[in-house]
């Protein structure tokens, strides 16, 4: 009876299942893409931005739920696993509920996407469907990308240049070099979140016969790659400003250098899922703070006479 009384309310379990701390991976590309459009004077529709943001967040929530469903089906998630949402293995949710909820999120995202297409260009629908399919295939289908060394590459491409380019395109009807430059640091940091996650889970993933990047290259090399991704985020931002592709105020994210250094030190000196779990959340927080400061800096460009962007 005591155990039953301590069980979380269902809505709290659903909230955790959506993994809200990870949703900045959708919010940041929206903010950066919109900021570039503001910087070059092509921003035209807050309603389109809002619908796009809602659709992308729903696709990410669906991806998180499919991740939980298929990891459970393949025997990866257990009661002692660190970092999972736990709706199925810990909270006795029926797997079909999780799958149905993920499918429902995809359905609502499709409806929002169709509205955005009606306001913009049919190309948006094509790219949106590709993004949704990539989200499903991350852990779904016969050859889940999450079980290969290619997960970081998929996240880098789709949560960086594709999403930021798409958010910008729905405002400007075109792609600009500034949007691509701005996507580089965001892509590096979002790939860093996944790499941090895979470093934390290296033992459990190996036990489940996954072939993630840290398993393929080893813990030390993966930690070096993690450091390289975080370093590249800052270096690419400085390079974009030096090349006059982004305004001087785009250097605002340099304020997060200290957080990046602490995370790099953590993954180079510590091991074990319990010890590294704060590093995964810290990587997500770094991505959020860096990305939002980048968006703010780009949006402030016109205020200091550095518009339009090139």
The pLDDT tens digits for 186-236 are 999 999 999 999 999 998 888 878 899 999 999 999 999 999 999 999 999
Average pLDDT in the 41-67 region? 92
Measured at the CA of 260, the angle between CA 288 and CA 55, to 5 degrees, comes to 20
- Among 76-90, 120-134, 226-240, the minimum mean pLDDT is found in 76-90
Average pLDDT in the 23-51 region? 93
Compute the distance between CA of residue 200 and CA of residue 275 in angstroms, rounded to an integer: 8
In order of start, what are the domains of the chain with their CATH numbers?
Answer: 2-304 (1.10.600)
Residue with tokens 């389109």: 48
**pLDDT band of 118, cuts 50, 70, 90:** very high
**pLDDT band of 85, cuts 50, 70, 90:** low
Residues contacting residue 83 through CB under 8 Å, at least 6 positions apart? 197, 200, 201, 273, 277, 280
The pTM of this model reads 0.88
Compute the distance between CA of residue 310 and CA of residue 299 in angstroms, rounded to an integer: 14
Helix and strand tally (H, E) in the chain? 14, 0
Judge whether 171 and 33 are in contact, CB under 8 Å: yes
Q: By CB neighbour count within 10 A (0-12 exposed, 13-18 middle, 19+ buried), where does 291 fall?
A: buried
Structure tokens at 230: 């975080």
In tens, the pLDDT along 239-273 reads 999 999 999 999 999 999 999 999 999 999 998 88
In tens, the pLDDT along 129-188 reads 998 899 888 888 788 898 899 999 999 999 999 999 999 999 999 988 999 999 999 999
Compute the distance between CA of residue 277 and CA of residue 82 in angstroms, rounded to an integer: 7
Q: Check whether 289 has a pLDDT greater than 70.
A: yes
Helix (H, G, I), strand (E, B) or coil at 300: coil
Residues contacting residue 68 through CB under 8 Å, at least 6 positions apart? 17, 77, 84, 85, 87, 88, 98
Q: Check whether 115 has a pLDDT greater than 60.
A: yes
Compute the distance between CA of residue 197 and CA of residue 169 in angstroms, rounded to an integer: 31
Residues contacting residue 309 through CB under 8 Å, at least 6 positions apart? 36, 39, 40, 176, 178, 245, 246, 247, 298, 301
Compute the distance between CA of residue 274 and CA of residue 255 in angstroms, rounded to an integer: 28
Structure tokens at 145: 């990308």
Mean pLDDT of the chain: 88
Compute the distance between CA of residue 76 and CA of residue 284 in angstroms, rounded to an integer: 23
Residues contacting residue 157 through CB under 8 Å, at least 6 positions apart? 187
**pLDDT band of 5, cuts 50, 70, 90:** very low
Closest CA to 217 of 199, 197, 191, 190: 199
């Amino acid at each position: 009876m005591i155990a039953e009384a301590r069980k979380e309310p269902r809505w709290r379990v659903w909230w955790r299942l959506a993994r809200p701390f990870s949703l900045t991976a959708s919010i940041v590309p929206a903010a950066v893409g919109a900021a570039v459009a503001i910087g070059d004077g092509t921003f035209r529709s807050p309603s389109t931005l809002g619908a796009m943001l809602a659709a992308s967040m729903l696709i990410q929530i669906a991806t998180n739920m499919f991740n939980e469903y298929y990891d459970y089906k393949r025997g990866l998630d257990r009661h002692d696993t660190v970092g999972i949402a736990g709706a199925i293995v810990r909270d006795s949710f029926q797997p079909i509920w999780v799958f149905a909820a993920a499918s429902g999120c995809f359905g609502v995202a499709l409806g929002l996407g169709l509205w955005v297409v009606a306001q913009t260009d049919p190309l948006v629908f094509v790219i949106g469907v590709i993004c949704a399919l990539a989200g499903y295939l991350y852990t779904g289908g016969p050859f889940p990308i999450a079980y290969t060394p290619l997960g970081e590459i998929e996240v880098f491409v789709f949560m960086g240049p594709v999403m930021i380019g798409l958010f910008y395109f729905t405002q400007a009807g075109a792609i600009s070099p500034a949007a691509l430059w701005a996507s580089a640091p965001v892509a590096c940091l979002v790939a860093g979140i996944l790499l941090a996650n895979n470093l934390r889970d290296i033992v459990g993933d190996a036990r489940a016969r996954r072939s993630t990047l840290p398993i393929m290259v080893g813990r030390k090399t993966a930690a070096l790659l993690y450091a390289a991704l975080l370093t590249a985020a800052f270096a690419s931002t400085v390079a974009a400003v030096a090349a006059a592709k982004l305004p001087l105020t785009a250097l605002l994210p340099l304020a997060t250098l200290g957080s990046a250094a602490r995370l790099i030190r953590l993954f180079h000196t510590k091991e074990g899922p319990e010890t590294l779990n704060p590093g995964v959340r810290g990587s997500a927080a770094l991505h959020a703070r860096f990305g939002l400061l980048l968006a703010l800096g780009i949006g402030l460009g016109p205020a200091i006479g550095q518009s339009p962007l090139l």
